[in-house]
Structure 1
Amino acid sequence: MYFPTAGIETNPLLPPLVSFVISFFTSMGGVSGAFMLLPFQMTILGYASPSVSATNHLYNIVAIPGGVYRYIREGRMVWPLAWAVVLGTLPGVLVGAVIRVRYLPDPRHFKLFVAFVLLYIGLRMGRNILLDKRRPQPASAGTVTPIAFTTSVIAYGFAGREYRTSTRAVFIMSLVVGVVGGIYGIGGGSIIAPFFVAFLGLPVHTVAGAALLGTFVTSIAGVVFFQGIAPLYPHMAVAPDWLLGILFGLGGLAGTYLGARMQKHVRPNVIKTMLVLCILIVAIRYLAAFVV
Structure 2
Amino acid sequence: MVFLVCLLIGMMTALIGAVAGIGGGVILVPSLFFMQSISDAFSWATPQAIVGISLVTMIFTGLSSTLAYVKGKRIDYQTGLLFLIGSIPGGIIGSWLNQFINADVFLLYFGFLMVVISLLMFIKRDRFKMEQDPEKRGMRSFSLQGITYHYRVPVFSAVILSLSVGILSGLFGIGGGSIIVPAMILLFGVPAHVATATSMFMIFFVSISGSITHLTLGNILCGYAIFFIPGAWIGGRAGAWLNQRLPSKILVWILRVLLIIIGIRMIFQGLA
Same fold (TM over 0.5): yes
Q: In the alignment, is the contact (CA less than 8 A) between 1:188 and 1:214 conserved in 2?
A: no
Q: Secondary structure at the match of 2:185?
A: helix
Q: Determine if contact 1:181/1:189 at 8 Å carries over to the other structure.
A: no
Which of 29, 48, 51 does residue 49 from structure 2 map onto?
51
Deviations 1:57-99 (A, max 9, x none): 1111233221111000011111112212222200111111122
1:208 aligns with 2:196: yes
CA distance in structure 2 between the partners assigned to 1:273 and 1:204 by the alignment: 16
Structure 1 residues 282 and 153, CA, compared in 2 at 3 Å: closer, same or farther?
Answer: farther
2:224 is paired with a residue whose SS is helix
* CA distance, structure 1, for counterparts of residue 114 and residue 270 of structure 2: 15
Task: Tell me which amino acid in the other structure corresponds to 2:51.
Answer: S
Q: Counterpart of 2:27?
A: 36
Take 1:62 and 1:135, find their aligned partners in 2: how far apart are those partners?
32
2:142 to 143, 149, 156: 156
> Is 1:195 matched with 2:183?
yes
**Distance between the aligned counterparts of 1:189 and 1:124, measured in 2?**
12
- Structure 1 residues 91 and 154: CA distance shift in structure 2, 3 A: farther
TM-score of the superposition, structure 1-length normalised?
0.79
Identity of aligned residues (%): 21
SS in 2 for 1:157: strand
Task: Report the residue type matching 1:245 in the other structure.
Answer: A
- Structure 2 CA distance for aligned equivalents of residues 66 and 243 of structure 1: 22
Pair 1:96 & 2:94 matched: yes
Range that drifts further, 21-30 or 157-166: 157-166
Structure 1 ranges of 4+ moved more than 4 A: 188-191
Cα distance between partner residues in 2 of 1:166 and 1:221: 24
Instruction: Count residues in correspondence.
Output: 258
Q: Map 1:1-292 onto structure 2 (within 5 A).
A: 10-46=1-37, 47-102=45-100, 104=101, 106-128=102-124, 132=126, 152-159=138-145, 160-168=147-155, 169-189=157-177, 191-230=179-218, 239-267=219-247, 269-292=249-272
Q: Secondary structure at the match of 1:31?
A: coil
2:42 equivalent in structure 1: none
Q: Where does the alignment leave 5 or more consecutive residues of structure 1 unmatched?
A: 1-9, 137-146, 231-238
| AA at the equivalent of 1:119 | V
* 1:234 aligned partner: none
SS across alignment from 1:162: strand
- Could you say what the CA RMSD is over the residues aligned between the two structures, in angstroms? 2.6
**Matched residue type, 2:143:** G
Q: Separation in 2 of the partners of 1:190 and 1:253?
A: 20
The answer to whether the 8 Å contact 1:122/1:276 transfers is yes
Structure richer in helix, relative to its length: 2
Once the 2 structures are TM-superposed, how far is the Cα of residue 189 of structure 1 from its aligned partner? 4.6
Q: Tell me the CA shift for residue 215 of structure 1.
A: 1.3
User: What runs of 5+ residues in structure 2 fail to find an aligned partner?
Assistant: 38-44
Contact 2:69 2:75 in 1 (8 A): yes
* Alignment CA distance shift 1:90-1:194 (3 Å): same
Whether the 8 Å CA contact 2:109–2:267 is kept in 1: the answer is: no
Partner SS state of residue 284, structure 1: helix
SS at match of 2:75: coil
Deviations 1:142-201 (A, max 9, x none): xxxxx99x9x55442335252312232222211111111111123445642233234434
SS in 2 for 1:266: coil
